[in-house]
Amino acid sequence: MERATIATVWLEGCAGCHMSFLDIDEVLLDLLPRIELTDSPITDFKDFNFRRVDVGIIEGAIGNNEQLEIARRLRDRCKILVAWGDCAVFGGINTLRNAIARADVLKCAYIDSASTVDGIIPDDKELPVLLQKTVPVNRMVEVDVYVPGCPPSPEAIAYSLTEILEGRIPVLTADMIHFD
């Protein structure tokens, strides 16, 4: 791949994977001439009408209808879809809500929390609707590359991007998969 176009999104997660991407330090300087970052939380994009790209990267699980739509659009518009981090790969800590009914989750967050006074559960068409369960990305769209970790190490991210740029699907070795 000569100069790859890359779009990244941050769904239901903490941004740690994007921070690890920035932590690849000097390797990032080597990669920059080979990539064009089209859409990313790093570039502060606001719409999700992605143009066609070579690589789509998703950080975070899918927990609401807007995130599901974003994942579907990115999958539709990229050649290779990468799931970054344990939230995208396995569902991560976000799946802790799966044992609780959606109505109870909302009640706890907006009515019963210790800091809430006269709370109401928001009901506005502009707000995304929670899915019944939070799920890893591959439960909703096809994923080509998995880069687990919480967050993935900068080395794992650098390796996976370099492999993709060389036209190979990366296979991470055990020493690249760890928790920081």
**CA separation for the pair 139, 137 (Å, rounded):** 5
* pLDDT per position as a tens digit, 110-136: 999 988 888 899 989 999 999 999 999
Asked if residue 51 is part of any domain, the answer here is yes
Taking residues 127-154, report their average pLDDT.
95
- pLDDT value, residue 180: 53
Question: Which CATH number covers residue 86?
Answer: 3.40.50.700
Total count of domains within the chain: 1
Asked if residue 158 is part of any domain, the answer here is yes
* pLDDT per position as a tens digit, 152-178: 999 999 999 999 999 999 998 888 876
Q: Which residue is listed with tokens 């009515």? A: 111
Taking residues 25-41, report their average pLDDT.
88
Beta-carbon count within 10 A of 35 CB: 18
Residue 31: which residues within 8 A CB-CB, separation 6 or more? 24, 158, 161, 162, 165
Asked if residue 100 is part of any domain, the answer here is no
Q: Give the pTM.
A: 0.91
Angle at 19 between CA 34 and CA 36, to 5 degrees: 20
Determine the structural domain holding residue 9 and report its residue range. Answer: 4-95+133-172
* pLDDT per position as a tens digit, 77-91: 999 999 999 999 999
Single out the residue of 39, 38, 35, 41 nearest to residue 13, CA to CA: 41
pLDDT band at residue 45 using 50, 70 and 90 as cut-offs: low
Asked if residue 103 is part of any domain, the answer here is no
